[in-house]
Structure 1
Amino acid sequence: MIQKMSHVTVYVLDQDAAKEFYTDKLGFQVGEDLVMGDGFEGAGAGFRWLTVSPPGQPDLRFVLADPRMGHAPEHADVLRELLAKGAFGHGVLATDDCRKTYRELSERGVVFLQEPAERPYGVEATFRDDSGNVYSLTEAHADK
């Protein structure tokens, strides 16, 4: 029986830069950062397994993956092009105060696409990570 989601893959253009963005700017914590050896079919020898977790949720790992991990070179190139265009939206990051978190993250250098705005479901702002992935930062209404 499936019990919960443990890992989500987020493709990034540069793993070192992504690690810095997710930890220094978003406040995530590093889970694993290691090099996997031979025997991982399609990943190439020595691919890097890098995970980060949102503060207070260490059981959910974001795998900050190089697009080459598990993909043919031509497919990895397409993924990189789509990343750079901001074609991927990776979900909603919850906060209890969207406006305050918006200000804090802006001060840390996070680039927002949309300032906090009232929505039927709460207050939402959107931003891109340093690779182009788009996230919704959302404060849900208390009754939701």
Structure 2
Amino acid sequence: MKQAIVHIALVVRDYDEAIEFYTQKLHFTLVEDTYQPEQDKRWVIVSPPGSQGTTLLLAKASKPIQNNFIGNQAGGRVFLFLGTDDFWRDYQDIVDQNIEIVRKPKETDYGIVAVFKDLYGNLWDLVQFNKNHPIYKRIK
């Protein structure tokens, strides 16, 4: 048996502002942007550069209760983890893009990590894993 997590839904306020942030500031690829008339919504998928794994489904809040979770999908914890093959290149790019850094870079036993906020306030780890970490080979 082979399974995979294909998409993670990220609740957003507006499709276009979310697409702009992820494609322009984080350099994600816009994989799909398809209007679904039967539900009056768009199917918007973005992916980190060079990634063949899980993608983000940018899901516009469509009910009042969903608005409460924009920017706080994990209750204040780091929600998403962006693995990189060059931490300092990507960290400097995030700084240059004026993306808010919440925790400055830190060397750990598993690699180097910093925490940043996306346009809505969700917390992300930017992480480069050490070569002996099990995840290293998945993003190398």
Q: Structure 1 length normalisation: TM-score?
A: 0.80
Q: Do the aligned residues in 1 keep the contact of 2:78 with 2:124 (CA within 8 Å)? A: yes
Question: Matched residues, percent identical?
Answer: 31
Instruction: Check whether the contact 1:116–1:125 (CA below 8 A) recurs between aligned residues.
Output: yes
C-alpha offsets along residues 48-93 of structure 1, whole Å, 9 cap, x if unaligned? 111101111245321011122xxxx34223224746xx73633211
1:91 to 57, 80, 84: 80
Is 1:48 the counterpart of 2:47? The answer is no
Count of aligned pairs between the two proteins: 133
The alignment status of 1:116 with 2:116, answered yes or no, reads no
1:131 Cα deviation (Å)?
1.2
Deviations 1:2-38 (A, max 9, x none): 4212111111122211101100111110011121122
Q: Which has the larger radius of gyration?
A: 1
Change (3 A) 1:56 1:3: same
For structure 1, which runs of at least 5 residues remain unmatched after alignment? 39-44
**Contact conserved, 1:102 with 1:115, CA < 8 A, in 2?**
no
1:18 matches 2:18:
yes
RMSD: 2.2
Q: Does structure 1 retain, via aligned residues, the 8 Å contact 2:11–2:66?
A: no
Letter in 2 for 1:47: K
2:72 corresponds to 1:66? no
**Does structure 2 conserve the Cα–Cα contact (< 8 Å) formed by 1:8 and 1:63?**
yes
> Structure 2: 5+ residue runs without aligned partners?
134-140
- TM-score when normalising by structure 2: 0.82
